[in-house]
Amino acid sequence: MLSRLRGLPSTVWLVGLISLVNDSASDLLYPLLPLYLSSVLMAGPRALGVIEGVAEATASLLKLFSGVVVDRTRRAKPWVVSGYGLAGLTRPLIAFVASWPSLLVLRFADRVGKGLRTSPRDALLAASIAPGQRGLAFGVHRAMDNAGAVIGPLLAALLLAAEMPLRDIFLWSALPGAVCVALALALREPRHEAARASMRFDWRLGDMPAVFKRYLVVVALFTLGNSSNLFLLLRAGELGVPEAQVPLLWAAVSLVAAVFSTPLAALSDRWGRVRLLVAGYLAYGVFYLALGTLVQGGPVLFALFAFYGLFMAATEGVEKALVADLAPAGRRGTAYGWFNLTAGAMLLPASVIFGWLYQSLSPLAAFAFSGACALAAALLMVAWVGAKTPPGVPLQGGRPPAPPKTPSPTLPRAGGGKRAESSEAPNHPGRCTPSL
């Protein structure tokens, strides 16, 4: 494992460091939003569902646009820098909002930044690694991303314990935002052939491989039950977790995900992407059903959240590596755009439905709905994706294809032919843990 880690190109580590810093700022605020909504803005679960759903759905639409543009121009860095810059600018402004619609506007702007950067960043990372390194590279990226998600909540807990006002904490998020932009400016585009001027703006899904489209259907079904993680923190508070410990609870989740992301994602290079994703979806369903039936907090609640961290570690990087396995080499940016669009667009109905069930019926009804979606997605993954994948792809197990001799694979020629076993990957939908 250590020799494989040392063999990763520097771009993987720099992209991971950027994600670490960005998520430190994002998750400094993320666990505080339910507290801010309820104690300062006087809003409930329905408002939370609308805010998170609209924000993530907005980002998903822009992820498709930016992915298509990257395929056409072969230029990813400008989108990455501008996306992180917009997020760093809008987060501190949350300190000045006086109503939840104003918070919705800022979350909308923040997600615009995420939409601009995610698919280009994924395509840039994918172009910097060999096919046999996909699981490992995206696992490293997710591990560093989740390390930032540990640092942020710990800082939030310390600041809350020091009785710093919530508005001041939001203002301090400007500092890591500025650092993140500086690091993004240091990125280098991978070597590639110039894009053809005649290449048209092509966002179509129809000419993608059939197995890739089936995979998107599975992702859509799973994401329909994968509402904002803020509902998990809301549930933890209702079960008796003190406000000051809510960030610590989320930090524990992210710590588990950070520790296990690299080995589990690397395992998918050999054991198979589909097998690992099916196991992760099943774990998600069990977690949601258990959390819905729980009547009080304590050690069981913390154990359940640690278990949720294992689900994140097993799926976040692997889902994007599977996109790289299935999509045509010349349209990887577009494929990531469609993947992110599918996952992000479903977050709006997912969060709205979950919030409505939670407030109008019961928490158990909301969590049972999400668990059922996950279990159904696991079955479809086996029947629709696992049984229909092309040969030579590490989906069901076996050793991955040997990496090419050149240390830094180049981006494919614009408009290049399809290749079922190539593409790239990094970031995850809703379930994705939607970051600020």
> What tens digit of pLDDT does each residue of 179-235 get?
999 999 988 887 654 444 444 545 567 677 888 889 999 999 999 998 878 788 888
For residue 1, the Cα-to-chain-centroid distance in whole angstroms is 24
Whether 435 contacts 353, CB under 8 Å = no
**Largest alpha-carbon pair distance within the chain?**
62
pLDDT (mean) for 124-142: 82
Report residue 35's pLDDT band, with 50, 70 and 90 as the boundaries.
low
Q: Which residue has the higher pLDDT, 431 or 394?
A: 394
Question: What is the length of the chain?
Answer: 436
pLDDT at 416: 39
Residue 365 has pLDDT above 90, yes or no: yes
Range from 136-150, 173-187, 203-217, 388-402 carrying the lowest mean pLDDT? 388-402
% of the chain residues with pLDDT over 90: 15
Report residue 53's pLDDT band, with 50, 70 and 90 as the boundaries.
low
pLDDT at 14: 92
pLDDT at 198: 42
Residue 345 has pLDDT above 50, yes or no: yes
Best CA proximity match to 134, nearest among 433, 337, 423: 423
pLDDT at 431: 44
pLDDT in tens, 244-303: 777 778 778 888 888 888 888 888 888 888 889 999 999 999 999 998 888 777 788 888
pLDDT at 401: 45
Residue 434 has pLDDT above 70, yes or no: no
The CA distance from 298 to 307, in Å, is 15
Q: Where are the domains of the chain?
A: 9-189+206-386
- Buried b / exposed e over 151-186, threshold 16 CB at 10 Å, is bbbbbbbebbeeeeebeebbebbeebbebbbebbee
User: Which architecture does CATH list for 9-189+206-386?
Assistant: Up-down Bundle (1.20)
Residue 432 has pLDDT above 50, yes or no: no
pLDDT at 1: 66
The CA distance from 342 to 61, in Å, is 9
What element of type H or E holds 367?
helix 363-380
Report the C-alpha dihedral over residues 297, 53, 326, 193, rounded to 10 degrees: -120
Report residue 436's pLDDT band, with 50, 70 and 90 as the boundaries.
very low
Q: Which residue has the higher pLDDT, 345 or 356?
A: 356
pLDDT at 21: 92
pLDDT at 200: 52
Q: Which residue in this structure is represented by tokens 């560093």? A: 144
pLDDT at 409: 43
Residue 361 has pLDDT above 60, yes or no: yes
pLDDT at 372: 94
Backbone angles phi, psi at 86, to 5 degrees: -65, -40
pLDDT at 285: 92
Q: Which residue has the higher pLDDT, 372 or 417?
A: 372
First-to-last C-alpha distance (Å) of the chain: 32
The CA distance from 434 to 436, in Å, is 7
pLDDT in tens, 75-92: 888 889 999 999 888 888
CA-to-CA dists, residue 132 to 21, 399, 410, angstroms: 27, 9, 15
pLDDT at 257: 86
Residue 46 has pLDDT above 70, yes or no: no
Residue 47 has pLDDT above 70, yes or no: no
The CA distance from 238 to 236, in Å, is 5
